Every structure is written in C-alpha cells, then in structure tokens.
C-alpha cells in the first residue's frame, strides 16, 4: 500500500490542483478530506482550464475519486461540477461519504451575515457557507449526506433548522434573508435522488483500497496558515488543513499514511483579510500579482502578494511532518532581483523564529530578510524546454534559491513547477513512498 498526502503550506492557492493532477497519473484513488467549495483548484490541460471546487483533482486522469466525511459538500456545486466534467468527457467515478455534512442556502446567508457583523475581525470569507456548515457539524445541527436519502429525518431536521436559522438571521444579525423550509425540503430531496448513486461509506472504500495495495492520494484544500488550530486565528478557514486531518476527515488511522508532500509557492499570496508579514504593498507586490495572475479562483478577488515566509514554512514542516516539497511558480519569480526570503521576525526589538499565537503580536511582526540574486524572466516556451531537460538546466540562481529553501526547511523539493501546464514540471526524484 502507498498513501501520499498533499497539503498547502502557505495561505492556499499554492498550486495544489496542478500538483495533484500531475501526481494523479501514478495514483489509483484521489481523495478530498476537508474544506468544501471554498477551494478552487486549477488544472491546465492543453487549451482547457478546469477549476475544481469539490471534485478531487484526479478527475482528468479518470481515477477513482473520493469525497470523504471531513469535507463539507454543497450539493448544488457538486452536481454542477459532475455535469460540467461529464460534458467534457470526464464522467467522475465518485464515492461520496454518507457522513459528509452538506452546505445549504441558510449557511451562505449566515456566512454573509456573520462577516458583516464581525466588521474588522472578518476574515473575508469566500461566502460559500463553509464556517456555518462546520459550526452546525460541531453543534450537532448538521445535515449529512445520508440524511438527504431519508425524507423523514430530513424533514425533522430542516423544520428545526429553518426556525432556528431564521431567528438568528432576523433577530441577531438583522438580516433580510428568508429561509424557506418547503423549498429547502424539495431541493434536498432532489439532491438526495441525484447524489444517491455516489453515496458510500468512504472509510471502508479507502481502507479496502489500501488493503489491496492501491495508491491513494489525499488532496488538501486551503493551506497551513488558514488552519483553524495552527493558522492565524481567526483569519483562516473553519477546518484543519494539516496532514493530520486526513485521519479524521477520511476515516483512516495514522499508520496508513506513508508520506506528506507540501506544496509551496515560490512567493506568498493571500486572498482575504488578516496580516501577512511579508506582504508587499509596493510596485514589486503589484508586479508579482499581475505576472502571477493572482486572482482568487472562487471569488475573483485580487490576491495580495509578497516574499516567501520561511517562518510559516518551518511551521508547515513541523505540523505536517513533510517528507517532500513541490515548489511552484518558479517561472513567475523570474525577472525579480534581488529575491527575498523571510527567515525570522522582529517583534518589539527581539528576533523570533516561531509564530506568536496572539493576533496583536503577529500583526506587529516585521520580516527579517535574506537576499538572493534573481534569475531572468523567460517566456513559457523556454520554461517548458527547461522542464524537459531537467533540474540542472534551471538558471543557476533559481537552483540556489530552491536549495536555500531546502536548507532552511530541511525538506527536499522533489518537484519544481515552472508553468501552469502539466509538462512544465520537473520531477527530481520519486515522491511516492515505498
């Protein structure tokens, strides 16, 4: 058996979709285990661009796909994605967990109302109802995929939830949004009917797959700094985005995990609110944003850009037990010189090497940089031919940058991505364990 977890090591959008698609050719199963349709994972194949929000990024290789219990599933988004992909000739071979919680319209209403109420403490969510769905799960108000198949349970839960959510929306948040119980029931029954062929106990599906020697890839969404425990609370998302979340989110034990690959963008990007120590609010930041086409996949918002933050990367290495890194967007950094790496923070005149928990302290952290010489800006065709020739044909300065990041993190960067396309990828050595 062999299992490999892919996680984001920064603020999301590191290029997980591209890397998972790349690795999926060598996998049998690709599994999402946390997050929901807040994710936007981009895959470029030929002239086509696919932006996946719930379906695992193995769909274009026609692999077995699993949406496990830890994911919050918006059935409308999932059904639309299934229909779009089927229309492109990629009908998904999907197992959807009967235990996954579903995101309904009242979750999105609450997401908007909560953000408005929070004001300066809002995290600039994707407004997809992610936080309220996880809140319901933990508070035990949640509706699960299995409930969509049981009209009686569904009715009982929806009646209670409609009354409660309407009260909260109207009386607490002074929102005009209306929860329509009848419509919710009809919609949920339709969702149940349409999703029924995919519903399974995915913990058993995955366990059997591993018992039978299959290769299973776990696809993380978001990134370390958005993790609800280890990221920058309260500016992150509502799930655990770290590798450990695979155990609870997919129902497999820690002993079945063989390797963890962290995806690291060669610089930092952040969509949404909250402090980012290495953010560049100057012309360099704007150039990175434009050159990297850094717009949110889900919301279209401009991503804030800055230098790579090795303090965050070291945290990612520690909490995820990273065995390998995939470094993306090395091509985008071409033409910037010098390039900076944040190695420590300065806080109240002291040098610190770890992230403080308190938001006020984190907001006051100033990056301490190391500088490195940059490499030339090259056209995509040059990067494609470099990818073909291999690691040694990368510009010397790019190799020095990669090797410095390896030295700081003590993790080998076995995959280097130098473009959006599948083949703009350098595979330095085997990433699959065993």
Query: From the list Mg ion, ligand GDP, ligand IMO, none, which binds 202 (C-beta under 5 to 8 Å, kind-based)?
Result: none
Asked if 14 touches Mg ion (CB under 5 A), the answer is no
From the CB of residue 74, how many other CB atoms can be counted at a distance below 10 Å?
Answer: 25
Instruction: Determine the interface stretch with Mg ion among 39-47, 125-133, 140-148, 254-262 (rule: CB under 5 A).
Output: 39-47
Cα–Cα distance for residue pair 89/205, rounded to 1 Å: 25
Sign of CA dihedral 388, 390, 395, 397: positive
Residue placing its CB nearer to ligand GDP in the complex, 180 or 403: 403
Cα–Cα distance for residue pair 277/10, rounded to 1 Å: 12
Cα–Cα distance for residue pair 6/224, rounded to 1 Å: 12
- Bridge-based pairing of strands 268-270 and 304-306 is antiparallel
- Percentage helix, strand, coil for the chain under 3-state DSSP, each rounded to 5: 40, 20, 40
Instruction: Determine the interface stretch with ligand GDP among 8-16, 177-185, 249-257, 276-284 (rule: CB under 6 A).
Output: 8-16
CA geometry: angle 395, 262, 133, nearest 5 deg = 135
Span 293-312, contacts to ligand GDP by CB under 6 A? 297
Among residues 13, 21, 136, 331, the one annotated as catalytic is: 13
Q: Which two tokens stand for residue 276?
A: 């980012």
Enumerate the β-bridge partners of residue 97: 200
Span 322-361, contacts to ligand GDP by CB under 6 A? 328-329, 331-332
Q: Which two tokens stand for residue 132?
A: 């309220």
13 is catalytic: yes
DSSP string, 41-56: EEEEETTEEEEESSS-
Q: Which two tokens stand for residue 134?
A: 């996880």
Q: Which two tokens stand for residue 297?
A: 């996949």
How many helices (H) and strands (E) are present in the chain, helices listed first? 13, 20
CA 418 to chain centre: 20
Instruction: Determine the interface stretch with ligand IMO among 18-26, 242-250, 265-273, 363-371 (rule: CB under 6 A).
Output: 265-273
Among residues 41, 61, 107, 230, the one annotated as catalytic is: 41
Residue placing its CB nearer to ligand GDP in the complex, 41 or 63: 41
Asked if 16 touches ligand GDP (CB under 6 A), the answer is yes
Residue placing its CB nearer to ligand IMO in the complex, 129 or 244: 129
Residue placing its CB nearer to ligand IMO in the complex, 2 or 10: 10
Residue placing its CB nearer to Mg ion in the complex, 202 or 289: 289
**Quick check: 52 and 59 in contact, CB under 8 A?**
yes
Instruction: Determine the interface stretch with ligand IMO among 185-193, 206-214, 215-223, 323-331 (rule: CB under 6 A).
Output: 215-223
* Shortest separation between residue 13's beta carbon and Mg ion, angstroms: 4
Asked if 226 touches ligand IMO (CB under 6 A), the answer is yes
* Shortest separation between residue 241's beta carbon and ligand IMO, angstroms: 8
Residue placing its CB nearer to ligand GDP in the complex, 132 or 334: 334
Q: Which two tokens stand for residue 96?
A: 């959807």
Q: In angstroms, what CA-CA distances link 208 with 29, 84, 120?
A: 11, 29, 47
Residue placing its CB nearer to ligand GDP in the complex, 11 or 134: 11
Three state DSSP letters for 313-374: HHHHHHHHCCCEEEEECCCCCCCCCCEEEEEEEEECCEEECCCCCCHHHHHCCEEEEEEECC
Residue placing its CB nearer to ligand IMO in the complex, 105 or 123: 123
* Shortest separation between residue 276's beta carbon and ligand GDP, angstroms: 16
Asked if 129 touches Mg ion (CB under 5 A), the answer is no
Asked if 219 touches ligand GDP (CB under 6 A), the answer is no
From the CB of residue 428, how many other CB atoms can be counted at a distance below 10 Å?
Answer: 15
Span 107-146, contacts to ligand IMO by CB under 6 A? 123-126, 128, 130-131
230 is catalytic: no
* Shortest separation between residue 16's beta carbon and Mg ion, angstroms: 7
* Shortest separation between residue 40's beta carbon and Mg ion, angstroms: 4
Look-up of token digits 């967007």: 329
- Interface positions with ligand IMO (CB under 6 A): 8, 11-13, 38-41, 123-126, 128, 130-131, 221-223, 226, 236-238, 271-273, 297
- Interface positions with Mg ion (CB under 5 A): 13, 40, 297
Q: What are the residue numbers of the active site?
A: 13, 41
- Interface positions with ligand GDP (CB under 6 A): 8, 12-18, 40-42, 44, 297, 328-329, 331-332, 417-420
């Amino acid at each position: 058996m062999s299992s490999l977890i892919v996680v984001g090591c920064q603020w999301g959008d590191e290029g997980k979709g591209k890397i998972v698609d790349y690795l999926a050719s060598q996998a049998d199963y690709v599994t999402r285990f946390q997050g929901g349709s807040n994710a936007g994972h981009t895959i470029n194949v030929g002239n086509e661009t696919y932006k996946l929000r719930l379906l695992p990024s193995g769909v274009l290789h026609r692999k077995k796909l699993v949406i496990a219990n830890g994911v919050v599933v918006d059935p409308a988004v999932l059904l639309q994605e299934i229909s779009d992909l089927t229309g492109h000739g990629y009908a998904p071979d999907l197992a959807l967990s009967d235990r996954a919680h579903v995101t309904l319209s009242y979750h999105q209403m609450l997401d908007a109302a909560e953000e408005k109420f929070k004001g300066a403490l809002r995290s600039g969510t994707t407004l997809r109802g992610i936080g309220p769905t996880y809140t319901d799960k933990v508070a035990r108000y949640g509706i699960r995929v299995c409930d969509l198949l049981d009209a009686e349970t569904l009715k009982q839960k929806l009646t209670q939830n409609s009354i409660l959510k309407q009260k909260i929306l109207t009386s607490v948040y002074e929102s005009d949004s209306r929860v329509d119980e009848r419509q919710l029931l009809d919609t949920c029954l339709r969702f149940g009917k349409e999703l029924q062929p995919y519903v399974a106990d995915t913990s058993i599906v995955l366990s059997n797959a591993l018992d039978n020697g299959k290769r299973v890839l776990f696809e993380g969404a978001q990134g370390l700094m958005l993790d609800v425990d280890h990221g920058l609370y309260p500016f992150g998302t509502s799930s655990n985005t770290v590798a450990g979340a695979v155990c609870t989110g997919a129902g497999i034990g820690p002993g079945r995990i063989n390797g963890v690959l962290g995806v690291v963008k060669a610089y930092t990007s952040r969509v949404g609110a909250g402090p980012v120590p290495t953010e560049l609010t100057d012309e360099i930041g704007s150039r990175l944003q434009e050159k990297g086409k850094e717009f949110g996949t889900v919301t279209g918002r401009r991503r804030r850009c800055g230098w790579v933050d090795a303090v965050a990367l070291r945290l990612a290495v520690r909490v995820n037990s990273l065995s390998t890194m995939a470094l993306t967007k090395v091509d985008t950094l071409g033409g910037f010189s010098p390039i900076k790496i944040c190695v420590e923070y300065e806080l109240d005149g002291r040098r610190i090497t770890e992230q403080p928990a308190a938001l006020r302290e984190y907001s006051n952290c100033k990056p301490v940089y190391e500088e490195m010489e940059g490499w030339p800006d090259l056209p995509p065709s040059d990067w494609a031919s470099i990818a073909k020739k291999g690691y040694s044909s990368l510009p010397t300065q790019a190799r020095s940058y990669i090797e410095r990041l390896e030295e700081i993190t003590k993790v080998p960067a076995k995959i280097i991505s130098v473009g959006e396309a599948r083949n703009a990828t350098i595979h330095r050595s085997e990433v699959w364990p065993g």
